[in-house]
Structure 1
Amino acid sequence: MKKVMEFLFQFKMVWGLFFASTVIIYTIVNMLLGKTSMELVVIWQLFLLSIVLVVIQYIIFGEFMLTKLSLKQKFLIHFTLCYFTILTFIITYGWMDYRNFSSLGLYSAVYTLFYLGILNSLRWYNKATGEELNSKLAIYKQKRNIN
């Protein structure tokens, strides 16, 4: 029961982050396109999109499935699934003219750059926190050896 509650709490927290980020990204893109408001139905569409993206996230990076794949393979699968999921939502809800090759190319380029930017920021974060933890561990070991 405790594992289920922890999983649900984590899922809710990750979903909240994904939902907030989809709303913010949608708002910024719409502002750049000259729109000044967002319809209520779009919020529900983003709600559904964020849930699907979180499910993909947990399938790929969770503890229960695909545990034998390397991290690079997981990122490639995640990139592809999320790309086509978002493209499906774009086509289904008419957020962009997908028949226009330049719009589709722009979406692909922005998605790829955004995804790579997030990967690099996570890598830098893990490197920075890993180095910080290693230095704290070295200080702790030195203090322990002195005592």
Structure 2
Amino acid sequence: MKKYMEIIVQFKFVWGLFFTGSIIIYTIINMLLGKTSMDFITVWQFILLTITLTFIYYLIFGEFILKTLHVRYKVLVHFLLSYMTLLIGAHLLKWIDTSNVSHLGLFTIGCIILYLAVSLSFFMYYKSTGEQLNKKLALYKRQKSGEEKHND
């Protein structure tokens, strides 16, 4: 039961990040296009799309499948699945015209740039927290070995 609760809490956290990021991106793009409001149905569309993206994220990077696959390949598979999900979602929701090559090109470039930005931020976050944990572990080991020498 504890494991399920941890997964649910983590899922909600990651979904919250995806949802917040998508709303911010939507707002910025719409401000640049001169729009001042968002339809309520659009919020629900974002909820559905971001829950789907979060599910894909946990399938690829979670402990469910692809456990032994190298991180580079996981990132590639995740990007391709996310891109296809976003493309199909944007087409079904009529956010972009997929028959227009320039729209498709802008969408693809935008997805690549955003994915690289998010991946870089996650990499920097995990690297910094990992380094902090490594420093704490090294300090703990030094203190522990100092106590053992002192006790002898």
Would you call these one fold, judging by a TM-score over 0.5? yes
The question of 1:89 aligning with 2:89 is answered: yes
Match of 2:22 in 1: 22
Task: Please give the alpha-carbon distance, in whole angstroms, between the structure 1 residues aligned to 2:77 and 2:111.
Answer: 15
Note the C-alpha offset of 1:22.
Answer: 1.6
- TM-score of the pair, normalised by structure 2: 0.87
Look at both structures and tell me which one has the larger radius of gyration over its CA atoms: 2
The 1:81/1:7 distance shift into structure 2, 3 A limit, reads: same
Partner of 1:31: 31
Distance (Å, rounded) in 2 between the aligned partners of 1:14 and 1:129: 17
Counterpart code for 1:79 = F
1:1-147 pair list within 5 angstroms: 1-147=1-147
Structure 1 residue ranges without an equivalent (≥5): none
Q: Give the number of equivalent residue pairs.
A: 147
Match for 2:119: what amino acid?
L
Cα deviations by residue, 1:7-26 (Å, 9 ceiling, x for unpaired): 22222222222222221111
TM-score (norm 1): 0.90
CA drift of 1:127 comes to 2.1
Distance 1:111 1:99 in 2: 17
Task: Give deviations 1:101-130, integer Å, cap 9, x for gaps.
Answer: 122111111111111111122222222222
Deviating above 4 A after TM superposition, structure 1's stretches of 4 or more consecutive aligned residues are none
Deviations 1:39-89 (A, max 9, x none): 111111111101111111111111121212111111111000100111111
Q: What is the letter of the counterpart of residue 131 of structure 1?
A: E
Change in 2 beyond 3 A, CA 1:17/1:123: closer
